[in-house]
Amino acid sequence: MKKIAVLLSGCGVFDGTEVHEAVLSLLAITRAGAQYQCFAPDIDQMHVVNHLTGEVNTEETRNVLVESARIARGEVLNASSLDINDYDALVIPGGFGAAKNLSNFATTGSSCHINPIVETFIREFALARKPVGFVCISPLMIPHIYGQGSLGTIGNDSDIAHAFNEMGGKHQAAAVEDIVVDEANKVVSTPAYMLATSVLEAHIGIEKLVNKVLEMID
């Protein structure tokens, strides 16, 4: 049975993983007959957001691995413990955690860097020529991992698309239900909640992404 790693960035759209995107990814993997294992880096979140009010709580700190366990129902491993031989592919849901915790894109834009633990984790899949699916805002990491001319989409946001291209990638606009496939790098991306107005819209693109990722496994 194919086994897919899922990289989380906390719990909650404004400071971690977008919960719907994570659950939809896990459901799509399971429905396709594969297994999943959640991972997250053992690092502090950039900040903590009150999801009811949208305000940042400056007096509270949270850990990305601990918060990701909320989504994974406790079944989450430290990203530093990856054995690439155990996994066939990787899926990375979105949420601001991808731009705040996995990388610092939220504060630095196209001059951003990826957290070293996270970069090592994703690069393991790239070096092993194993497919990776990037959801929502997480495709912003594609140019850093795959280099000049790598393809991806975050939908049609012109500012983020421009930043994607500035980092060396080649952005392709896509509708919410679409995927963009970089065959050369075995990379798949979809806009999800960059464009989705409902959980059903997000589901359509995410399921296509997961199915394509599974199809690309050697």
- Point out the residues that are catalytic: 136
**Cβ atoms of 18 and 10 closer than 8 Å:** no
**Cβ atoms of 10 and 16 closer than 8 Å:** yes
User: CA 62, CA 44: separation in Å to the nearest integer?
Assistant: 6
**Cβ atoms of 91 and 32 closer than 8 Å:** no
Tell me the C-alpha to C-alpha distance, in Å, between residue 115 and each of 4, 41, 174: 21, 9, 27
User: CA 106, CA 151: separation in Å to the nearest integer?
Assistant: 21
